[in-house]
Amino acid sequence: MNVKVKICGIMDSETALKAAEYGADAIGFVFAASKRKVTPEKAKEIVSVLPADVMKIGVFVNEAKEEIERIASIVGLTHIQLHGEEPASFSRGLTVPVVKAVSFEGNDALTDLGQYPAEYILIDGPKGKYRGGNGHVFDWKQVNTSYLVGKKVILAGGLHLDNVKEAVQIINPFMVDVSSGVETNGMKDISKIKAFIEKVKTLQVGGKR
C-alpha cells in the first residue's frame, strides 16, 4: 500500500491545485492560532477548485463545537482535525469525521486513543509556539503504535524530503502530514511539495494495523 500525503497549512488556490495535481491525498487548512491561519471564506474559495476525492481537513484547537460546525459547513470540509484537549465526548458530538491529533511526549498519551471515536490518529511533534506546524522532529522509535490498532495513523512533525523515508519505515503510517518541510522562507514551495509527494509515493507500508 502506498503512503498517502497531506499538505497542511495551505493558504492559496494555486498551491492547493498544484499539490493535488502532484498527488496530494489531503489538504489541510488551519483555523487555529498560526502563521498559516486562513479565514473560512478563503478556505471555501480554495476548496471550490479542488478535486472531490481530495480530503479537505480543517485544523482546530479547543474550539467551540458550534464554531467548528459553522466553519465546516461554510468551507465544505470533509474532516475535522482536533489538535487540542478535546475529549471523546466532544468528538462524538461532531457531524464531520474526526482526525484526533496528539503531540507525542511519550506513549502515555497514546494509551487512551485506541478507543477515541476517530478513524484517524495524527501523531505530531512536541508542542511549540503553536500546536502544529512547528517542524519539530521527535524520536519515532519511541512510538508504540500497538495502542492504535484499528486506527489509521497519520505522522506529522518535522518531516521533509530527507527524513520521510526513515519515518515511514519506522512508523508504518497510513498518511504523512507535512507543512514547514515543504516551505522556503515560511512560504509553501511548489517544487518542494512536488519532490516530497513523489518521494512518498515510492514508499510502501504494510497492511492494516
Options 8, 112, 139, 162, the catalytic residue: 8
Per-residue pLDDT for 135 more than 90?
no
DSSP sequence for 90-146: HHHT-SS-EEEEEE-SSTHHHHTGGGSS-SEEEEEPPP-SSSS-S-----GGG--GG
**pLDDT recorded at residue 136:** 72
Helix and strand counts by DSSP (H, E) for the chain: 7, 10
For 53, list phi and psi in degrees, rounded to 5: -85, 0
Looking at 108, 112, 124, 139, which residue is catalytic?
124
* pLDDT tens-digit readout, 160-181: 999 999 999 999 999 999 999 9
Read off the pLDDT of residues 24-59 as tens digits, 9 standing for 90 and up: 999 999 999 899 999 999 999 999 999 999 999 999
Write down all domains in the chain, each with its CATH number in brackets.
4-200 (3.20.20.70)
Task: Give catalytic status of residue 189 as yes or no.
Answer: no
pLDDT at 207: 45
Q: With 0-12 CB in 10 A as exposed, 13-18 as middle and 19+ as buried, what is 138? A: middle
* pTM of the model as a whole: 0.93
| Segment among 73-82, 128-137, 150-159 with least mean pLDDT | 128-137
Show the CA angle centred on residue 146, arms to residues 140 and 150, nearest 5°: 115
